[in-house]
Amino acid sequence: LRRLEKVRKDFVANVSHELRTPLTSIKGYVEALLDGAKDDPEEAARFLGIILKQSDRLNLILEDLLQLSQIESGQVLFKRDPVRLSTVVDRTLSLIKPLADKKGHTITVSLSPDLPPVRGDEERLGQVLTNLVDNAVKYTPANGSIHIAGQVTDSAGREEVELTVTDTGLGIPDADRPRVFERFYRVDKARSRELGGTGLGLAIVKHIVEGHGGRVWVEGNEPIGSRFVVRLPTASSKSHQV
């Protein structure tokens, strides 16, 4: 019980801190405008731009928090349809391709042709892949390679589909790997913020994957980068949903 209480307190402290940063910035720029910056049109426009950006950031954090809390509270029931990964991949790519192109990344996909459908919620699984590929794009310096692969594996006699997202980016130090799935945990806070991160994306991924009876983890990619691995039960395997 005491541990739970500590987790809850830490969480509230983290949320407060995350919200305070953009809010402090907004307040500072509003005050500067009132103090006179409003009379200089160029400066006023610049300050308003910053205020807009910080408000967007507040919005993003709140949206992610809301989503996470809905998933955690079990308010969101995942569908349990047969889902083809090729559909999920196509959908994700159409969303992310423009961002990847902008950074000069190459995205390749290889899905094994006999890939059976998984059991789950197409939209939520799309969110999992989108968060993973979005991170790969963000944390890989320009002109990198991102590879999405899907294959069948066997885990203790249970057929599973393994989906991996591999990048040639910054990589994640060994010690941080298990922790990146925690809410607000970031290897480099400043960089994450700069890239528009909320620190909640992987926590959402983990919840969705586990809600599908699956597992997710991250490995190092050789010689550089990261590989995120998602294992999901196939639609024909005996159901085992949490």
- Annotate 103-133 with b (16+ C-beta within 10 A) or e (fewer): eebebeeebeeebbbbbbbbebbbbbbbbbb
CA 194, CA 154: separation in Å to the nearest integer?
40
CA 100, CA 216: separation in Å to the nearest integer?
23
Least distance between ligand ADP and beta carbon 153 (Å): 22
**Considering beta carbons, is residue 37 or 203 the nearer one to ligand ADP?**
203
**Considering beta carbons, is residue 164 or 192 the nearer one to ligand ADP?**
192
Residues 6+ positions from 48 with CB-CB distance below 8 Å:
29, 33
Residue number of the CB atom closest to ligand ADP: 197
Q: Which residues bind ligand ADP (CB under 6 A)?
A: 131, 135-136, 139, 167, 169-170, 172, 180, 185-188, 192, 197-203, 226
Least distance between ligand ADP and beta carbon 19 (Å): 15
Least distance between ligand ADP and beta carbon 185 (Å): 6
**Considering beta carbons, is residue 62 or 187 the nearer one to ligand ADP?**
187
**Considering beta carbons, is residue 92 or 131 the nearer one to ligand ADP?**
131
Tell me the helices (H) and strands (E) count for the chain, helix number first.
Answer: 6, 7
Least distance between ligand ADP and beta carbon 63 (Å): 12
Question: Quick one: tokens of 139?
Answer: 């944390």
**Considering beta carbons, is residue 66 or 152 the nearer one to ligand ADP?**
66
Strands 158-167 vs 106-111: parallel, antiparallel or unpaired: unpaired
Least distance between ligand ADP and beta carbon 119 (Å): 25
**Residue 35: φ, ψ to 5°:** -70, -5
